[in-house]
Amino acid sequence: MTKPAATVTPNTWEFLRDPMIKPTGFREYDARWKYPDEINLPGVTALGLGLGTQMRRRGIDPVIAVGNDYRDYSLSIKNALIVGLMQAGIQVKDIGPALSPMAYFSQFHLDVPAVAMVTASHNPNGWTGVKMGFDRPLTHGPDEMSELRDIVLNGSGEARPGGGYEFVDDVQEAYLQDLVGDFRMTRPLKVVCATGNGTAAAFAPELFRRIGVEVVESHTTLDYTFPNYNPNPEAMEMLHDMADSVKASGADLALGFDGDGDRCGVVDDEGEEIFADKVGVIMARDLSKLYPNATFVADVKSTGLFASDPELQANGVTADYWKTGHSHMKRRVKEIGALAGFEKSGHYFLAEPLGRGYDCGMRVAVEICKLMDRNPDMKMSDLRKALPKTHSTPTMSPYCSDTEKYSTLDRIVAKLTAKAVANEPIAGRAIKEVVTVNGARVILDNGGWGLVRASSNTPNLVVVCESPESEDELRAIFADIDAVIRTEDTVGEYDQTF
């Protein structure tokens, strides 16, 4: 295998011949590159050869399910990946265009040990990537990604005989049937279904109709130019559009999905955007009645209510705060036998008997409909208002390059830890502790907190804050955390603020 170059000039003979892969595309738990600036098609083939070689070295049965999201270049990238996998002697089962959770489902449905999903997830057009895994329902974490990176970038991929290809065209229907099961709504429910013209448009409206939900379609025509907005239910642009649709249609709630369908965003009947961590608390309250003494995992960006909510405490819930990232969360849910995991970004990980442990926006949408069915006298706004009141920011991402973000974060964490040691306040309050499992979560004496971490899949830091007291205190927490961040000249502008 040719050792890939870090850069190859576009529109040259070499660009069409030689593999080019920018090393920073190998991230903590999946791979992301700008295409074709940071990876070319021969580079994708080298990635496939490396992934197949990794399977062989680990003694995994050489069969893999492969899918792609709905972007105009994803099919070309998938085909290039398949060529590399077949070179490594892997039997490829191509499931066609898919959601990431449909690809994860296919591992179970087709009984294959490995999966590779070509998707840029919620990243805007111009990005591509691969989510992959060997140990269902898990996906590659840092150890597997660093191993893969070394195989690929060192040119250590090994060609072997035995590769093959099969197109499997019935997985989409099996996936929908699995989601629906025998459930049908017993109360009327009108839902705005928002897909931002992304891949979920081929799934979500049909799914809702099958379970007896009245559907208000919002940008559900497949269009890989994303003419309205980038499908990302963590972005306020999409959430505000969902809120407008709820108000215009009189719907009971809105459910929105990202570009590859593994995340779900929620807006209630009053047009209030409910961040996914709060939706997680609403779901945890409902599920802990059915499954007392359950354990729930929440990522470090999530609300403190998983630990402090009196109703969860009364139901015997154990809250476990863990590293942000779909691979980290899936692994933690499985390791400690949690019923579910919740991530502020909108990834939900529902384990048996609710789901199979992987993140699936469609499965969460069905479970939210079931929750509404179990509470026929309640509106989504009633469930939101029943939670203890907290004030929180959206997820905010200031620019910081991939090559500098981790060293920058280390310095910020050290400065925040030093403030705690020196008994310096944040927002006029004492720092109770600084949790450093994933960046720094600075927890104050009243339960308020501010988090800084490095994004695992884009050149950014990530900042989230929450106050149990007031909007003013929330702004003060953010101002003091941001003041520390601004001591680093490697940090740029925020993508959004509040």
Instruction: Show which residues are catalytic.
Output: 121
pTM of this prediction?
Answer: 0.91
Q: What angle do CA 74, 75, 77 make, to 5 degrees?
A: 65
Indicate if the pLDDT at residue 29 is higher than 90.
Answer: no
Higher pLDDT, 234 or 95: 95
| CA-based max dimension of the chain | 67
Task: Show the tokens assigned to 316.
Answer: 């015997």
**Taking 90 as the threshold, does the pLDDT of residue 411 lie above it?**
yes
Which band of pLDDT confidence, cut at 50, 70 and 90, is reported for residue 457? confident
The DSSP secondary-structure symbol of 232 reads -
91-97 and 431-435: which strand pairing?
A: unpaired
**pLDDT tens, position by position, 153-175:** 999 999 999 999 999 999 999 99
Antiparallel, parallel or unpaired: β 91-97 and 164-167: parallel
- The percent of residues above 90 in pLDDT, for the chain, comes to 93
Q: 238: which DSSP letter?
A: H
The per-residue pLDDT for range 312-339, each reduced to its tens digit, is: 999 999 999 999 988 999 999 999 999 9
- Please give the mean pLDDT across all residues of the chain: 96
Tell me whether residue 249 is exposed, middle or buried, using C-beta atoms within 10 angstroms of its C-beta: 0 to 12, 13 to 18, 19 or more: middle
Q: What are phi and psi of 340, to 5 degrees?
A: -160, 160
**Of residues 234, 195, 185, 232, the one with CA closest to residue 216:** 195
Nearest Cα neighbor of 369 from 250, 279, 242 is 279
pLDDT at 23: 96
Taking the C-alpha atoms of residue 432 and residue 476, their distance in angstroms, rounded to an integer, is 17
